[in-house]
Chain A
């Protein structure tokens, strides 16, 4: 059982769709504790990805992911651009030359992406960022693989963990980004970056499952 290139592309398109649907919601979360542009910036970036995707969709998964990362860093701006851009560039580095991914390939790609985001943002779990979704998700994926789970089972478990991680950001006090200037006042709002990262794992669970 593997994840095909076509599924990888469906995942990106699904994620772009969910971002577009939730643009206002993400921006409203960001206006409470940040600078009110997360949904707008992410949507601009992924609309650019959709328009440029046909130009590189027939390359290997690594090249596709790297190209997505480059489009994101040049179109999103703010902090999300470099962070999501790094995530995809690292996924691309890890999957270079591949036309399909095993569960272990997928985990290695996500691990490389998460490590890239941690290094770029100098953040860790508990800082009220996208990493509060991504780090537990990576751990769940690894546990699933250790127990011999299928891709479907692992991605499903990852989606559930991602949701818990996202919800867990609400009571946290932000330690990174513009929200950190609010100190205690940042508690009580769900983190917008953790929310968009949950959408990433949610769409992955649907698009990358049901392998032929």
Chain B
């Protein structure tokens, strides 16, 4: 294992200390329980928006704390759900009297821990709503599974929902915006290489030099198929087609296209993928009206990418364009 770390067990703590100092103008960090929160929290009269999950997906979620996006983020150990005491303390810290929204990615551990935190916060008299994101088309959604995993749409949901909260809309409306984003977006990812969890010290899975995993999860969970490495055009087609067919996206739809790096893939390759994606969308009559290209929801040093398409209307575009000022996303301010 070759990593820029001191001791594997200190990675999350030292990362948080780094974030606190690097972004002291935007965020504060609380330790034990761990959470990152807006420097100006709580914002009176505004719905507090919180997310969280295992570490190792940076900049998600801590990098999205700030004006127009999240009020707090709760990081767990690498690839492990945070615990309810973190979400409870974060909820108290950002509660400005208008209630708190929890944005939760659909993994059993995350969902259960957030539910427990919501119960405890409600017992404290704080109004809490939760929205679970489940946009990964690689996973079968049925009564017989835990349902689709929450992936790329989470980033877009946090931005758009944060903008709605910034307008001081009531909790019900803010939650509704978040649900609308989740219902309108679909994603799928792929891996060129595995990743190494610091405390495990070895790759999560083995992937031969000439193969790729299509439909990979953000913790290195197996996807739909393992196959011989293809060109960017072929790979983009393999990811975009199931996404477009699933919602489905129809001729004339407007979309936000998000090409995300898994952590170990350079931006030059992500733009090659974006170029292919734009051609596929054009071929289907789907108009890309906004885009995001970069590594925003990662899996440590995994090489690969994911594609997210979000069907948008004027409301969602306006909220997407609204000012945001966080360590990882910043525009309009």
User: In the bound complex, do residue A82 and residue B84 qualify as a contact, i.e. CB atoms below 8 Å apart?
Assistant: yes
User: In the bound complex, do residue B146 and residue A78 qualify as a contact, i.e. CB atoms below 8 Å apart?
Assistant: no
Tally of A-B residue pairs with Cβ under 8 A?
69
Which of A104-112, A158-166, A172-180, A195-203 lies at the interface with chain B?
Answer: A172-180
- Write out the residue numbers on chain A whose beta carbons fall within 8 Å of the beta carbon of B33: 74
- Write out the residue numbers on chain B whose beta carbons fall within 8 Å of the beta carbon of A77: 76-77, 80-83, 109, 113
Which of B19-27, B137-145, B171-179, B313-321 lies at the interface with chain A?
Answer: B137-145
* Complex Cα spacing A83 to B84, Å: 12
Residue with the highest number of chain A CB atoms closer than 10 Å, among B143, B145, B219? B145
B116: interface (CB < 8 Å) = yes
Of A74, A79, A180, the residue contacting B112 (CB under 8 A) is: A79
Q: Given A73-B84, A74-B84, A181-B221, are A121 and B76 neighbors across the interface (CB < 8 Å)?
A: no
Nearest 10 A-B pairs (CB), nearest first?
A82-B112, A74-B85, A180-B145, A78-B109, A79-B108, A82-B116, A79-B109, A177-B108, A180-B146, A74-B83
Enumerate 30 A-B pairs (CB-CB under 8 Å) in ascending A order. A35-B79, A74-B33, A74-B85, A75-B83, A76-B83, A77-B80, A77-B81, A77-B82, A77-B113, A78-B81, A79-B108, A79-B112, A81-B83, A81-B109, A82-B112, A82-B113, A82-B115, A85-B84, A86-B116, A120-B116, A175-B143, A175-B145, A176-B146, A177-B108, A178-B107, A178-B221, A180-B145, A180-B146, A183-B140, A183-B144
**For residues 149 through 189 of chain A, which have their beta carbon under 8 Å from a beta carbon of chain B?**
173, 175-178, 180-181, 183
* Complex Cα spacing A35 to B221, Å: 9
Nearest-CB distance from A78 to chain B (Å)?
A: 4
Contact with A along B74-111 (1 / 0, CB 8 A): 00110111111100000000000000000000011100
- Where the two chains meet, the residues of A that have a C-beta atom closer than 8 Å to any C-beta of B are 35, 37, 73-79, 81-83, 85-86, 120-121, 173, 175-178, 180-181, 183
* Complex Cα spacing A158 to B113, Å: 29
* Complex Cα spacing A154 to B11, Å: 48
> Count the B residues whose beta carbon is within 8 Å of the partner chain — how many?
25
Contact with A along B29-60 (1 / 0, CB 8 A): 00001000000000000000000000000000
- Write out the residue numbers on chain B whose beta carbons fall within 8 Å of the beta carbon of A173: 144
Which partner residue on chain B sits nearest A89 by CB separation? B116
* Complex Cα spacing A76 to B84, Å: 10
User: In the bound complex, do residue A176 and residue B108 qualify as a contact, i.e. CB atoms below 8 Å apart?
Assistant: yes
User: In the bound complex, do residue A178 and residue B115 qualify as a contact, i.e. CB atoms below 8 Å apart?
Assistant: no
- Write out the residue numbers on chain B whose beta carbons fall within 8 Å of the beta carbon of A74: 33, 83-85
Contact with A along B115-158 (1 / 0, CB 8 A): 11000000000000000000000011001111000000000000
* Complex Cα spacing A26 to B290, Å: 47
User: In the bound complex, do residue A180 and residue B83 qualify as a contact, i.e. CB atoms below 8 Å apart?
Assistant: no
User: In the bound complex, do residue B116 and residue A73 qualify as a contact, i.e. CB atoms below 8 Å apart?
Assistant: yes
- Write out the residue numbers on chain A whose beta carbons fall within 8 Å of the beta carbon of B144: 173, 175, 180, 183
* Complex Cα spacing A73 to B116, Å: 9
* Complex Cα spacing A157 to B82, Å: 38
Nearest-CB distance from B111 to chain A (Å)?
A: 8
- Write out the residue numbers on chain A whose beta carbons fall within 8 Å of the beta carbon of B146: 176-178, 180-181
* Complex Cα spacing A81 to B114, Å: 12
Nearest-CB distance from A119 to chain B (Å)?
A: 10
- Write out the residue numbers on chain A whose beta carbons fall within 8 Å of the beta carbon of B81: 77-79
* Complex Cα spacing A74 to B74, Å: 13
Which partner residue on chain A sits nearest B86 by CB separation? A74
Nearest-CB distance from B55 to chain A (Å)?
A: 12
- Write out the residue numbers on chain A whose beta carbons fall within 8 Å of the beta carbon of B143: 175
* Complex Cα spacing A183 to B109, Å: 19
